[in-house]
Chains A and B, each alone.
Chain A
Amino acid sequence: MLIRIDPASTAALFEQVAASVRRALAAGDLAPGQQLPPAREVATSLDINVHTVLRAYGVLRDEGLIELRRRRGAVVTGAADTRARLNTLAGELADEARRVGVDLDELTEIVKEKFA
């Protein structure tokens, strides 16, 4: 799995790490049950704090994409690929709404209409 960060970016480092994992899930590079690399190894390789990676893994756990297990570390959940795809699409939708000047309430209404 490829994890990349840009220290010059305005996005927080933990968000960039989490985004890399989401991208890998959406692309099908990670399968359910597969382990993510140990946080310490990722942190050392990227020259960032291990807590930054752990925070990214925490975000992904809250999104239901991974489970954090005591001995096996971070493991991809069964529903991760679907949720990751939804997350990616939602991100693109939010970006497009901002670009064309649609605010959150209006966007929520559009989504509600489509969902109904």
Chain B
Amino acid sequence: MRTARLTLATAGIPFVVLAVAYVLRTAWAGRLPDTIVSHWGTGGPDRGTALTSMTAWTLGLGAAAAVVATVTALVMRHRGAFVPRTAIGFAAWLATLPAGVLIASMWATLDVASWQQARSAWGAVTLAIGLSVAAGALATLLTGPTPRAAIPEPRDLPSAGLAPGERAVWIGAGTNYPMAFAGIGVIGLFLVLQLSLDDLDVMPHALILIVAVLALAATCRVRARVDATGVTLTLGLFRFPHRTLTFDEIASAHVEQMSVWSAGGYGLRRGFGYTAFKVRAGEALAVTLTSGHVVKATVDDAERAAGLVNDLVAAERP
């Protein structure tokens, strides 16, 4: 039942909206110019696109987005991962937005001689956004309540063996050393090139260098602290972004192995049901929230960190 609902929400609703857009395009064919408005500036319509081309692009994009969302949601469900209904609603909104844009552009150019005489942008934007938001909301409702993730039994969870009355803090980090040293390597390479090539312009290359080094510095290290206030995670040498999880929102913690490809890469990653502070492959602290969302951080000695989280969660609960 849940799979059918997921499919209906991620594919059914977007494809119905895409079909409605195509039916309207066919029905309004005699009342539309060959080129319809596709953009408005401050002075009114400032760009038009051929109706055929706009129909193909918007419906193609919408269909592709719906297929990707459906496949992703079903694969996640097949793997037993948690698929939040807000994400399904967002996917349906995204997949129906191109159809909404097509319908709005056609409506704005309906019964006028050319796209320059199109109606105001406000009506078209309201129509496009309103239609897609309504589709997203319908998909959210259709998906039904998000099931809570099964909270592991206390006996299965790691523990740091914290005794009643004891206080503890765990502070740890995970560092991607190749990434950290790559930053130094990039600076070295730049200096070598700068000294050896006379005609090398400084500015454009220096800007690229700064961006590359800042990007590496921002994602080469993740740091975590577990204490009585909760779990605090920070990314990179600038310790930004950071996230603090309080114990009233934490259900449990465990250790998870992350591959190079899991979560889709390095840095702060967000996916269906998880947020990952990932700087390397390997062991990660995985904190399951009461909402079912899992926050992961690729820190060393994650077992001990997870153990302390579970002990402190148990101490917080009556």
Residues of B within 8 A of A37 (CB): 169, 171
Contact mask for chain B residues 202-233; partner A; CB cutoff 8 A; 1 contact, 0 none: 00000000000000000000000101110000
Does A4 lie at the interface of the complex (its beta carbon under 8 Å from any beta carbon of B)? yes
Contact A45 B165 (CB under 8 A): no
> Quick one: which of B162, B169, B229, B308 has the most chain A CB within 10 A?
B169
Contact A29 B167 (CB under 8 A): no
Cα–Cα distance between A20 and B173 once the two chains are bound (Å)? 18
Residues of A within 8 A of B227 (CB): 45-46
Does A105 lie at the interface of the complex (its beta carbon under 8 Å from any beta carbon of B)? no
Contact mask for chain B residues 168-189; partner A; CB cutoff 8 A; 1 contact, 0 none: 1111100000000000000000
Count class of interface residues, chain B:
10 to 19
Does B160 lie at the interface of the complex (its beta carbon under 8 Å from any beta carbon of A)? yes
Contact B225 A2 (CB under 8 A): no
Contact B160 A6 (CB under 8 A): no
Closest beta carbon of chain A to B241's beta carbon, Å: 19
Count class of interface residues, chain A:
10 to 19
| Chain B residues engaging chain A, CB cutoff 8 angstroms | 160, 162-163, 165-172, 225, 227-229, 301, 304, 308
In the assembled complex, 29 residue pairs joining A and B whose CB atoms fall closer than 8 Å, in A order, are: A1-B170, A1-B172, A1-B301, A2-B160, A2-B168, A2-B169, A2-B170, A2-B304, A3-B170, A4-B166, A4-B167, A4-B169, A5-B166, A5-B167, A5-B168, A6-B166, A6-B167, A7-B165, A29-B304, A41-B171, A41-B225, A45-B169, A45-B227, A45-B228, A45-B229, A46-B167, A46-B168, A46-B169, A47-B167
